[in-house]
Chain A
Amino acid sequence: MASTLTKAEDRTAVAHAARIQHVSKSFGRPGAQQLVLDDISLDVAPGEFVTLLGASGCGKSTLLNLVAGLDAPTVGSIETPGGRPALMFQEHALFPWLTAGKNIELALRLRGVPKNDRRDEAERLLGLVRLTGAHGKRVHELSGGMRQRVALARALAQDSQLLLMDEPFAALDAITRDVLHDELTQLWHETGLSVLFVTHNVREAVRLAQRVVLLSSRPGRIAREWTVDIPQPRRIEDTAVAELSVEITEQLRGEIRRHGQH
């Protein structure tokens, strides 16, 4: 925790990368509204890695959309002092009419990077996700794991201090996912980014995060938080990861059982 703060300080002076205060969100027409998120308050410190964990219907993706500014909360406020956060989806969401490199260059262009610098910067970002030489590749020519890495590089191209990830590895096979966990951990160390990572995979949450936040379902509320002090690099098979996962899974199952009772 102490090391996180030092890293945070040399990146930025603000106290948090995201501050979510008493946020509620309802959908539907007035009168027939469904409450999806109920009074969520959560701070993400600069340089912190937080996973949001929950079963279906806990509104974790909704919360991420709110933080990304794609939707507005019904009640409460969300601050992201570092500017518009970068967002990565479960689907790679790369634009198929552009090459891998041009996808990244588009993000740079929209950020206002001058034309002459874009190519080099795109190459650097591709190098960061170990895809040097993939600049001219078409999206459909890349494997699932490579696409997600390009998507990660494109998210990094926004140069935001906060990276939001919406189950980015859920559609990948287990081997690729494991490798990308290592990759993400390493990148997070190198860049000092704050990450808010949504998943329904308990082990993934424990494998990656400094803090795991469990959401209950319908409506989504913060049920409990755990600080994960297992040193990185971790492996998903580590005993400590497994033990904490068991504990969190028990709690998660308890939350799910409540829904069967009424």
Chain B
Amino acid sequence: MASTETSTQSSTRRGGAGTAALSGLAGLEAGLDALETAVVTSTPRSEVLRRKVLPPVVAVALVLVVWQVLTWTQIVDPYKLPSPSAVWSEVVDAWLQGTLLDYIWTSLWRGVSGFLLALVIGTPLGLLVARVRFVRAAIGPILSGLQSLPSVAWVPPAVLWLGLNDSMMYTVILLGAVPSIANGLVAGVDQVPPLFLRAGRTLGATGARGTWHIVMPAALPGYLAGLKQGWAFSWRSLMAAEIIASSPELGIGLGQLLENGRTNSSMSMVFLAIFLILIVGIAIDLLVFSPLERRVLRSRGLLGRS
């Protein structure tokens, strides 16, 4: 019965060429949109705590326990491995003397301003290498080769060129960070889907407008990865420079603190310096780069879980 009805209906419509076709279009589309749009659910806070916060806390606690056990049982010479409490009292001493924040600030200021300078130089350089074929052929290989050169190698020439001062530190930071920032941008630009460039060109985004509206935003994830690495390289280069080149005018940064610990044979001071270097590096990554990267990826739907 039902099938007969259907066939009659469709045969009448064949003559009339689908007159009712457009009247229900809006409702039809609204229905399709509702059916096909995914429902977004957010993960509860306790779940985030359990999955993201708990594991690293457990790992750190475990390391501290093993460390404490090693010093208690005196398996390792206490001169080579100070107890956690000895390192902690070093922290408290430095804090009470008011020097702890000075150490950190001296290095952090150099690191951050050097990184920002590297950003200002590395970005146009990367863009030039990525977009101009001649420039890429000329300096592209050198630029990516420079990344594998440990930046500590630049310390001796920088000292000879500039002497023991802040410009020498910045030079070493730049030589370490500029190539990674530029290379990150080049990689980001290379990964821009050609479809976006074609779409941009049909919309009239050519030349500088194409670079600004299409290429740069499309390359942002790769660029951010380059910045992240650039920061790591800045920080590493700076530490190398501070360890090797110490002079009274330079003040005491974390690198000098480490070197002072060595010359004073104070293992707890060495440990303090290493921890502070590590903590600053991790903190910048966790507070600046990771949230930035997550935000960019999430807004583009490139992050698995939201």
> Contacts A89-B195, A179-B28, A183-B25 known; A140 to B17 CB distance under 8 Å?
no
User: Which listed segment binds A: B78-86, B110-118, B211-219?
Assistant: B211-219
- Residues on A with beta carbons closer than 8 Å to the beta carbon of B25: 130, 179, 182-183, 186
A186 to B18, CA, bound (A): 13
Assess the A68–B202 pair: CB atoms within 8 A: yes
Name the residue on B nearest A108 (C-beta): B203
- Residues on A with beta carbons closer than 8 Å to the beta carbon of B141: none
Assess the B29–A140 pair: CB atoms within 8 A: no
A97 to B40, CA, bound (A): 19
- Within A110-135, the residues touching B (CB, 8 Å) are 110-111, 130-131
Assess the A97–B33 pair: CB atoms within 8 A: no
- Residues on A with beta carbons closer than 8 Å to the beta carbon of B296: 97
- Within A171-191, the residues touching B (CB, 8 Å) are 175-176, 179, 182-183, 186
Is A237's beta carbon under 8 Å from chain B? yes
Is A5's beta carbon under 8 Å from chain B? no
Is A209's beta carbon under 8 Å from chain B? no
A36 to chain B, nearest CB (A): 17
> Contacts A84-B204, A97-B218 known; A233 to B213 CB distance under 8 Å?
no
Is B143's beta carbon under 8 Å from chain A? no
Assess the A233–B202 pair: CB atoms within 8 A: no
- Residues on B with beta carbons closer than 8 Å to the beta carbon of A110: 203-205, 209, 213
Is A230's beta carbon under 8 Å from chain B? yes
A130 to B202, CA, bound (A): 24
> Chain B binding site: helix, strand, loop or mixed by DSSP?
helix
Q: How many A-B residue pairs have CB under 8 A?
A: 115
B-contact 0/1 string along A138-156, CB 8 Å cutoff: 1111111110000000100
Is B36's beta carbon under 8 Å from chain A? yes
> Contacts A95-B196, A130-B30, A230-B17 known; A182 to B22 CB distance under 8 Å?
yes
Assess the B32–A182 pair: CB atoms within 8 A: no
9 A-B interface contacts by CB (under 8 A): A93-B198, A96-B299, A96-B300, A141-B37, A146-B33, A176-B36, A182-B25, A233-B18, A235-B17
How big is the B interface, by class? 35 or more
Assess the B204–A237 pair: CB atoms within 8 A: no
A-contact 0/1 string along B1-43, CB 8 Å cutoff: 0000000001001100111011001101110110011101000
Is A260's beta carbon under 8 Å from chain B? no
- Residues on A with beta carbons closer than 8 Å to the beta carbon of B214: 95
B185 to chain A, nearest CB (A): 16
- Residues on B with beta carbons closer than 8 Å to the beta carbon of A87: 198-199, 202
A137 to chain B, nearest CB (A): 9
Assess the B301–A143 pair: CB atoms within 8 A: no
Interface residue ranges, B against A (CB under 8 Å): 10, 13-14, 17-19, 21-22, 25-26, 28-30, 32-33, 36-38, 40, 195-196, 198-199, 201-205, 209, 213-214, 217-218, 220, 296, 299-302
> Contacts A84-B202, A111-B204 known; A233 to B17 CB distance under 8 Å?
yes
- Residues on A with beta carbons closer than 8 Å to the beta carbon of B202: 68-70, 84-87, 158
- Residues on B with beta carbons closer than 8 Å to the beta carbon of A139: 300-301
Name the residue on A nearest B34 (C-beta): A143
Is A91's beta carbon under 8 Å from chain B? yes
> Contacts A97-B218, A233-B21 known; A143 to B32 CB distance under 8 Å?
yes
Assess the A138–B299 pair: CB atoms within 8 A: yes
Which one of A91, A140, A146, A230 lies within 8 Å of B195 (CB-CB)?
A: A91
Which one of A89, A230, A239 lies within 8 Å of B199 (CB-CB)?
A: A89
